[in-house]
Amino acid sequence: MIEYVTPFFRPPSEHKSFILQATIGCSHNNCTYCAMYRKKTQKFRVRPMSEIKEIIDTASRNGLLERRVFIADGNALVLSTAKLIEIMNYLDEKSLGLERITMYANVGDILRKSIEDLILLRENGLGMVYIGFESGDDVVLERIKKGANFSETVEASRKLKASGIINSVMVLLGIGGKDRSREHALATGKLLTECDPEYVGALSLQLRPGAPIYEQWKEGLFELPDKFQMIEELETIVENTELSDSYFYSNHISNYLPVRARFPQEKGRVLKEIKEVLKTRDEASLRPDYYRDVVNQY
């Protein structure tokens, strides 16, 4: 039996992947909006290699290593290159040939690796990493304790491109609060343009008990933009984002307005859709709050 430390998380697009929990928790665990790894049992640690291999053996025996593997938890790229290669080679040995291996990564994890290391990881199976950019605004990034600024994020993205690892990034509507809403959206569009990732997912901030920002909100220190302000942010981000050949989504469950577009060819179409919603301000065209599992939006 495979024992997971719970709760564990994976991107929605990894719902069919086998989740290999090689690390527990997140080595950063400091972002103010994040409540994912706050339990004592989730304190950051690396599983011993013997345990990781036992999990892979069990998964293999049960036919779970068929197509895709997501290496969890919060930022498995924190592991040394040698360790990751050993894990991926063992996965390769025990599977019938995997389509792809992916994981979450922090900007700092990427910057700490050389391009040669990243190329080695790609050659040994790492196809894509998911990074939470959240914002391009350095004031916001500092406030939310993201641990990476605009220029570091651009540098990490360039290293990924140079190594051939696909970059799937998340940005967070509402994370600038009401006071930095416009700056957040403008700088986020600029950051996405400079980084030119292959995938962009825009999510909307949800205030979760356990996350420091939730306490700030309760004390009146953080004001969450309302639903149409979040859509205005989406509009500004799309307007200011130029991507050479990418997919842009806002279809995450947290969003009021799901959009999907291939950039650059569908940018105009999606912008028109967003502008139409902002013109009519018809709530019926938005995803209902109960569906978004919202703690509080106002």
Binding residues for ligand SF4, rule: CB under 6 A, are 26, 28-31, 34, 36-37, 74-75, 106, 132
Cα-to-chain-centroid distance, residue 175: 14
Of the candidates 144, 135, 139, 108, the residue with the CA atom closest to the CA atom of residue 34? 144
Of 138 and 273, which CB lies nearer to ligand SF4 in the complex structure?
Answer: 138
Residues 241, 136: contact at Cβ < 8 Å?
A: no
Rounded CA separation 48/117 (Å): 22
Of 26 and 77, which CB lies nearer to ligand SF4 in the complex structure?
Answer: 26
What is the closest distance, in whole angstroms, from the C-beta atom of residue 213 to ligand SF4 in the complex?
A: 11
What is the closest distance, in whole angstroms, from the C-beta atom of residue 276 to ligand SF4 in the complex?
A: 32
Type of residue at 205: L
Query: Does a cis peptide bond (omega within 30 degrees of 0) precede residue 7?
Result: yes
What is the closest distance, in whole angstroms, from the C-beta atom of residue 96 to ligand SF4 in the complex?
A: 31
Of 36 and 224, which CB lies nearer to ligand SF4 in the complex structure?
Answer: 36
Give bridge partners of residue 173 from the DSSP assignment: 204
Of 7 and 288, which CB lies nearer to ligand SF4 in the complex structure?
Answer: 7
Of 200 and 238, which CB lies nearer to ligand SF4 in the complex structure?
Answer: 200
Of 74 and 225, which CB lies nearer to ligand SF4 in the complex structure?
Answer: 74
Rounded CA separation 136/107 (Å): 13
What lies within 8 Å, CB to CB, of 79 at 6+ separation is 22, 23, 46, 87
The two three-digit tokens of residue 171, written as one number? 């940005």
| Residue showing tokens 């080595």 | 27
Cα dihedral 236/158/33/217 (nearest 10):
-40
Give bridge partners of residue 247 from the DSSP assignment: 199, 262
What is the closest distance, in whole angstroms, from the C-beta atom of residue 292 to ligand SF4 in the complex?
A: 19
What is the closest distance, in whole angstroms, from the C-beta atom of residue 170 to ligand SF4 in the complex?
A: 9
Of 74 and 201, which CB lies nearer to ligand SF4 in the complex structure?
Answer: 74
What is the closest distance, in whole angstroms, from the C-beta atom of residue 106 to ligand SF4 in the complex?
A: 5
Which of the 8 DSSP states describes residue 72?
Answer: E
Strands 23-24 and 45-46 turn out to be antiparallel
What is the closest distance, in whole angstroms, from the C-beta atom of residue 10 to ligand SF4 in the complex?
A: 12
Residues 174, 33: contact at Cβ < 8 Å?
A: no
